[in-house]
Structure 1
Amino acid sequence: MDGGYIVLTTIKEITNHVGKEVKLGGWLYNKRSSGKIQFLQLRDGSGFIQGVVVKNQVTPEVWEAAKSLTQESSLYIWGTVRKDERSPIGYELDVTNIKPIQIAIEYPIAKKKHGVDFLMDHRHLWIRSPRQHAILKIRAEIIKSVQQFLDDHGFTLVDPPILTPSSCEGTTNLFHTKYFDEDAYLTQSGQLYMEAAAMALGKVYSFGPTFRAEKSKTRRHLIEFWMIEPEMAFVEHDGNLEVQEQILSYVVQHVLEHCRPELKTLGRDLGRLEKVRAPFPRITYDEAVELLHKEGFEDFKWGEDFGSPHETKIAESFEKPVFITHYPTEIKAFYMKPDPDRPEVVLCADLIAPEGYGEIIGGSQRIDDPDLLAQRYKEHDLPLESYDWYMDLRKFGTVPHSGFGLGLERTVAWICGLDHVRETIPFPRMLNRLYP
């Protein structure tokens, strides 16, 4: 109460008001009746709670208002907060008053099973459901924990451009556009710009959308996705891997601490996540190829890149995420530093998640020798005028430096235990999906 008025609160904050009358603004998710009692399943964006309307304890007007509510009708509701161990959140609301705001027309997403295309066409409504609500809450906590870790460990957030004159890994899979009378591309990574920022600020990271024009329909791919990309001056290959395993361990344990109700809604096996603590196992590309040959992939040749079946088979040998290091130079990006003791492989690593979720982090030590970088420009037929500024980073105080990119959606899919990345982002952009 505040000056005699009931304070508007949220379901998330309901624990602060046990035994008191509160006012909530929300929507009706579902309801059922047993004659003289109506059970209202309510949501307000912060959570879900059941409101109990007892006919002989409310006015006829309140009873009829409850009866009039349809799925997704909006309302203000008053009631006394009561502990109830049967409730998923431990509390229920004994309703005293209801004020409908709008009685919704027939809701298109019924309780029956719908096809994927239907749900994607109605994504703007589908995100209201408990499952999607839980996923988006976990996504937000993952973002928060990543940034918290980096901010607490001396990294500075830097925002790279989304429109770029060149690419990190070739322009084949980029979206082309015109920048007035110049060619431009939607970024596939902020990495090159983060390298420049690291030479100014030491340890930096970016967090933003990236785009790949790959005509892929797999459960792991989106056209538009979000990346966290740290870059660190004076950090070499082994130190880079240590940061990666520390940050991922921190994120998973943070989600376990702050999102247990949401993980329970998703039916996630928490035991698997509880094992995700640094250090993580490491195997070389050579060892991974040997493992695949023993597991039935005899035709896999050294020098090929791993596909989803290969990554899944490798991950099955480990309970934690596993680093695959030292990939062949020929299949990796131009900026990755070759191993001084074995130039045919580079100082890089992909971090493969357990349970078939594939690569969630890719990183490497970067080339710091200007002569070697110039050689790479020629080998990859890169337009020098577009990369002059990148070469400058090696001419004016070059240092060993490393970095990585963490794919947010794949990380969300793995932590949540989802079948497809389309559920990991509010409005997914896929090969044949630009609506809504």
Structure 2
Amino acid sequence: MSSRVEVYGHVMFLRDIGKVRFIILRTFTGIEQVVLKKDKVPEKVWSVFSRLGPEYFIRVVGVKVKSKIAKLGYEIIPEEIDVIATSKPLPIDLSDKVTAEFPTRIRFRYLDIRRPKVKAVFRVRATVVQAAREFLVKRGFTEVFLPIIIGSASEGGAELFQVKYFDKVAYLAQSGQLYKQSVVPVFGKVFTIGPSFRAEKSRTRKHLTEFWQIDVEEALTTKDRLMQLQFELVKYIYERVCEVNSSDLEILNVKVEVPEYYHKIHYDEAISILRNKGIDIEWGMDFGADEEKALCMEFDVPFFVTEFPEREVAFYYKLVEDDPRLAHRIDFYGPGEYGVEWSSGGLREHDPVKLEERMRSKGLDPKSFKWYLDMFKYGFPPHGGFGMGVERLMQTLLKLEKIHEAALYPRTPDILVP
């Protein structure tokens, strides 16, 4: 069985063994092998081979035939080859045979992303985001689109990128939290998928200054429902990646194990685990990179840590009624060596008086949040939600050493260009 085809792609490899010449072509959808046999192709096609080079973008018209020799199981016998665009000598190797150092790869990121392994990562990422959207829509959530330029901090603190907004000062959103909450009385169940910005000078394997989140908020929910929703969301994402991206996982040499259940532990139990591992941590402290890593290594399935100390949470978290030292915060973690904190969320405070008190206790000026406080004076339902990091989920899913690998053009304190 043979078929006539027209394909476009970049030249990956050229091989000349005398009367047979090979072109390995990287198309937008995969790999094609073009075979030139001197006695079976036009002279014009045979001679164009000598003018080709790596990353030349070419058009090939020919016949695709089955082949027992070709690794792909078929090959293209060309009738026409046209050079659409030439290429300068490459500054980095794109064959995955010799991988450049990460700073060099970032410098030439526009070329680095052409490598099959890098391309596979972002094909998976596309599935992750699409699967999240599918799952939430099926569950009755409405997608909303929130502002990125904001007039006050979402969560307080100094980790904000300040921008000039005409004659005013504005900021890039740390998250869509406050605006996400504002639409809960309208739709009941909402989500948004978009970028967030944190001016953190953190140089770790899990931090970016620009990252994407799957932000979810729901009226009349509970902690248990929030945990189950997050687990089922992650499970669905894993399942869809296995279904859609099997060839990409093969390129990356990654085996994805779909989780079937999760664990949950109280903050106090997490502290005990860490202390038993010899980590010196005081009750009331949040988890840093070392503590988080140690906790993730303790589990082989996803897990939640619940009820964090009040002093370590944002003002909008609801406090535990019988122990106001604690807040109803829930953090979700990926397990094992590549585990990181996937999401943070919990139940929200919807009493405007308590919210103002919490703001003041955090050193925030309630006047800066007037619109936010006012909206709770108009029949605001109890609610809760979470923000799940796309890059962090990818880091665990694909066993990436650095979160930077999950961002097309990563932004860190040291990386701004390209």
| TM-score after normalising by structure 2 | 0.95
Where does residue 146 of structure 1 map in the other structure?
132
Task: Point out where structure 2 has 5 or more consecutive residues left out of the alignment.
Answer: none
Whether the aligned pair in 1 keeps the contact of 2:338 and 2:400 (CA below 8 Å) is: no
The one-letter amino acid paired with 1:223 is T
Where does residue 125 of structure 1 map in the other structure?
111
1:92, 1:411 → 2: CA distance?
A: 38
> What is the SS of the residue equivalent to 1:347?
strand
Where does residue 416 of structure 1 map in the other structure?
398
Distance verdict in 2 for CA 1:92–1:327, change over 3 Å: farther
Whether the aligned pair in 1 keeps the contact of 2:174 and 2:198 (CA below 8 Å) is: yes
2:77, 2:301 → 1: CA distance?
A: 46
Q: Are residues 1:192 and 2:192 paired?
A: no
The one-letter amino acid paired with 1:128 is R
The one-letter amino acid paired with 2:327 is V
TM superposition shift of 1:290: 0.8
Residue 33 of structure 1, aligned match among 16, 29, 41: 16
Whether the aligned pair in 2 keeps the contact of 1:230 and 1:404 (CA below 8 Å) is: yes
Residue 244 of structure 2, aligned match among 239, 251, 258: 258
TM superposition shift of 1:207: 1.3
Cα distance per residue 1:18-47 (max 9 Å; x no partner): 620100111112222322222212112222
2:99, 2:299 → 1: CA distance?
A: 35
The one-letter amino acid paired with 2:301 is K
Distance verdict in 2 for CA 1:199–1:80, change over 3 Å: same
Where does residue 144 of structure 2 map in the other structure?
158
Where does residue 433 of structure 1 map in the other structure?
415
Distance verdict in 2 for CA 1:83–1:324, change over 3 Å: farther
Where does residue 307 of structure 1 map in the other structure?
288
Distance verdict in 2 for CA 1:39–1:155, change over 3 Å: same
The one-letter amino acid paired with 1:294 is N
Where does residue 381 of structure 2 map in the other structure?
399
Where does residue 33 of structure 2 map in the other structure?
50
Distance verdict in 2 for CA 1:82–1:427, change over 3 Å: same
> What is the SS of the residue equivalent to 2:229?
helix
1:342, 1:255 → 2: CA distance?
A: 41
2:106, 2:300 → 1: CA distance?
A: 33
Cα distance per residue 1:270-315 (max 9 Å; x no partner): 1xx32423x3111111111111111221x21111111122122212
Identical residues among aligned pairs (%): 35
Cα distance per residue 1:368-419 (max 9 Å; x no partner): 2222112102111222222122222321112210110011111122212111
Whether the aligned pair in 1 keeps the contact of 2:338 and 2:401 (CA below 8 Å) is: no
> What is the SS of the residue equivalent to 1:274?
coil
Where does residue 244 of structure 1 map in the other structure?
230
Whether the aligned pair in 2 keeps the contact of 1:51 and 1:93 (CA below 8 Å) is: yes
> What is the SS of the residue equivalent to 1:173?
coil
Where does residue 373 of structure 1 map in the other structure?
355
Distance verdict in 2 for CA 1:51–1:116, change over 3 Å: same
1:51, 1:179 → 2: CA distance?
A: 55
Where does residue 188 of structure 2 map in the other structure?
202
Task: Indicate the larger mover: 387-396 or 81-90.
Answer: 81-90
| Aligned-residue CA RMSD (Å) | 1.7
Q: Are residues 1:344 and 2:325 paired?
A: yes
Q: Are residues 1:103 and 2:103 paired?
A: no
> What is the SS of the residue equivalent to 1:319?
coil
Whether the aligned pair in 2 keeps the contact of 1:289 and 1:300 (CA below 8 Å) is: yes
TM superposition shift of 1:82: 3.3
Residue 115 of structure 1, aligned match among 101, 116, 120: 101
The one-letter amino acid paired with 1:334 is F
Aligned length: 414
Q: Are residues 1:335 and 2:321 paired?
A: no
Cα distance per residue 1:48-68 (max 9 Å; x no partner): 222222222111211121232
Where does residue 12 of structure 1 map in the other structure?
none
**Aligned pairs for 1:289-300 within 5 A:** 289-297=271-279, 299-300=280-281
